[in-house]
Every structure is written in C-alpha cells, then in structure tokens.
C-alpha cells in the first residue's frame, strides 16, 4: 500500500483556546497532544500512528496568521453534513453547504473561528 501525499498539516490560529473549542465542537474530539515549545504553541489533533489519513495540529506563531487564502485542508468525515451542522453553533460560518463532487463524494466549505477556510469531505 502506498502512502497518501499529505503527511501532516497545520492550521494557523490567533486564539488557541477559541480555536480548540471550535474544532472540539465540530469534530467531537478533544484529546489534544501538546507539542508546544518556546517558539510555537502547537496542539495536535488526536491521531493513530498507522491511521489512514494525515495528522495535523493547530499552531500559533508570532509570524504566522490565519487566512482563508492559505493552504486548503480537507477534514475527512463519515457524512460531512453532520460536522457542517455543528459549525455555526461552534462560532464558525458555513461558506458552501454540502455539495456533490461526483465520484469523489461530497464536500462542504466552512470558515473556522480564526478566519481559516477549511473543507469537510465525505463519501456519503
């Protein structure tokens, strides 16, 4: 089995407690791994060492700002409409509701509390 191209991702944030609260509410996961050091505040999303998808973290750095024009991150979901339904209550904004992308499943575009545009992807 070949590896996926994406091995890690980082979502830049301005307010770590607010960002963690948003992602916990949307994805119903809250076991963060603190990877912070003197130069960076970093909390990794829960991951499995031999899991199928890429792992990543929320990152707060002095010289990095959240942006809707930054890298695109697609979060895998069983049915992206479930996570989409949690976005606004968690303080984010739905930019494009669930839509078909043909044989590749469905996506929804949302903005987190930090101003990052992220995508939700599912096969159903």
Q: Domain locations in the chain?
A: 8-122
Report the C-alpha gap between 11 and 82 in whole angstroms. Answer: 21
Could you give the percent of the chain with pLDDT greater than 90? 73
pLDDT at 63 over 90: no
Buried b or exposed e, range 78-117, using 16+ CB within 10 angstroms = eebeebbeebeebbbeeeeebeeeeeeebbbbbbbbbbbb
- Overall fold of domain 8-122: 2,3-Dihydroxybiphenyl 1,2-Dioxygenase; domain 1 (3.10.180)
Q: Is the pTM of this model over 0.75?
A: yes
Determine the Cα–Cα distance for residues 84 and 108; give it in Å rounded to an integer. Answer: 7
Q: Taking residues 65-70, what's their average pLDDT?
A: 85
Q: In this predicted structure, what is the pLDDT of residue 50?
A: 79
- The pLDDT tens digits of the residues spanning 19-54 come to 999 999 999 988 999 999 999 999 999 888 877 778
């Amino acid at each position: 089995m070949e590896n996926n191209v994406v091995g890690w991702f980082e979502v830049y944030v301005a307010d770590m407690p607010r960002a963690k609260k948003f992602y916990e509410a949307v994805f119903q996961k809250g076991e963060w791994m603190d990877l912070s050091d003197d130069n960076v505040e970093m909390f990794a999303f829960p991951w499995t060492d031999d899991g199928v998808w890429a792992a990543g973290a929320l990152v707060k750095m002095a010289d990095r700002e959240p942006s809707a024009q930054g890298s695109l991150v697609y979060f895998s979901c069983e049915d992206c409409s479930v996570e989409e339904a949690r976005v606004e209550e968690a303080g984010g904004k739905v930019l494009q509701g669930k839509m078909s992308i043909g044989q590749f499943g469905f996506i929804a575009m949302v903005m987190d509390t930090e101003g990052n545009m992220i995508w939700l992807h599912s096969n159903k």
